[in-house]
Chain A
Amino acid sequence: MTELTDVAESDLRGIRDLDIDDVLAYVHRDLKRLPGYTELYKRYLRQRWDVYELDFSQDVADWRERMTQEERDAFVGISAGFHHGERQVEVELPVFMLGGSEESKIYMSSQIEDEARHTVFFDRFYREVVGMPGDSVQDVLDASFEHVSETFVGPFGLLAYQADELRKDPEDPAARVRYGTTYFLWIEGVLALSVMKITLTYCRERGFLPGYYTGFTATCRDEARHVQFGMRFLRDSVQEDPRLLLQIHETLRTILAINGAASRRLALESLGWTPEEVRRLMIRQLHMKLTDVGIAIPPDIREMVSRIEPELAGG
């Protein structure tokens, strides 16, 4: 196992050799301590990477010659969620930056830049490797939208409407906590990390797509900062006003209620994942955040969590 300091300090070349499980461990290591916003901003300045340094030439060969049609379909089916997800969390974030402390605003500027860079990462991957057509970033997004499943459409749409609500009063603590629950806890803490684990484990075990592996593993390391910021924000909000816990609960009730809908089957077996494994992965991702941060949930939500359907796998 790699030392977690390697995860913290690797440059893009070094990231290619990291094990995704170590990067996921790095995301969670600091959840109990939860660093402050300025510390996270300093870390960003050290860890920022250049998305245009990635080389996708081996990925193109792997995609065309070594992967099967089934593997390509499953890969596009799951990664399209974050092709759109990175854009969504980029464009909906500036409204959140309008509220909170000055330290929070400074940190937020770094996360907005991270998310923009992640959007470019997927734009390059879909354009150069998958071969989707388009002159603009929007064209390529439009080409991949048909592959985005309800698992993503619902939560991303919810975030868009919550951002619109927050725009009316960016300092409203309840609206900020509802928004933060969807953004940091669910989209980043559960959906993004699950997609990372599934696609990056496949790449690593098969030795495929080194450009994707490098870029999305670097993205995962950025995600450590985002999730830690978000959990710190939720924890501090509830400590300041315990009634805000109810806002987290109400948001989770909606997210979990819509989580079971899937209009088509996406077989992830070809990437090495059974529906039951995907289910356990998502539950585990959610539990780790809730317990490490000390967010208590009532029995009805616990019940909803245990019923999480592995619709990422279409089951």
Chain B
Amino acid sequence: MRFFTPEWAEAARAAVDAGPEREGKLPTYWNWIDRARAGYTATWALGVRETGEYLLLTWKDGKCAEAEITSDPGAADYVLAAGETTWRELREGADPGRVVMYRQLRLERGDVLAFFRVIYFFVESLAALSRIRTT
């Protein structure tokens, strides 16, 4: 499957909706994520800086309901973008928490405090979609 194609977008939606494998981390951590996700309604636009394309993920009531690839992040609540190198490193297993801490994925638009209130839910979603096999 090719990265940033409609097929990949649908796989990404399914992956973040299922969440990552819950192994190796404390149950209380996943409880935190479940609480952050409960009722979560927002749209994330995750972009590749070089191409200007975004993966638009729409969360409705804690479910990832829609995904599409677009060059117009439009009304997304949180618009983020990273360079191709960062996206490649993520697919090769880079720690998504480290990617956030080093601000390799920049918040181009959106409220910083509201975005961070669910930060580990976001980090684990990033982990889940990074693990999709791509060619």
Contact = CB atoms under 8 A, between A and B. Distances in A.
Nearest to A92: B103
A257 interface: yes
Contact of B113 (A150, A157, A250): A250
Given A84-B101, A158-B112, A161-B112, A258 B119 contact: yes
B97 interface: yes
A170 interface: no
B107 A164 contact: yes
Contacts, number: 75
Given A157-B101, A160-B103, A162-B112, A257 B117 contact: yes
Interface centre among A88, A251, A258, A265 (most CB of B within 10 A): A258
Interface of A is mostly: helix
A263 B114 CA distance: 22
Interface residues of A, number: 30
Nearest to A179: B112
B119 A158 contact: yes
Interface string B104-125: 0011000011111101100000
A261 B98 contact: no
Nearest to A158: B116
Given A160-B103, A258-B120, A145 B112 contact: no
16 contacts: A145-B98, A150-B97, A153-B97, A154-B116, A157-B103, A160-B101, A160-B102, A161-B115, A164-B103, A165-B112, A257-B117, A258-B116, A260-B28, A260-B32, A261-B33, A262-B26
Given A254-B114, A262-B26, 11 more contacts: A153-B97, A154-B116, A157-B97, A157-B100, A157-B116, A165-B107, A260-B32, A261-B32, A263-B25, A264-B25, A264-B26
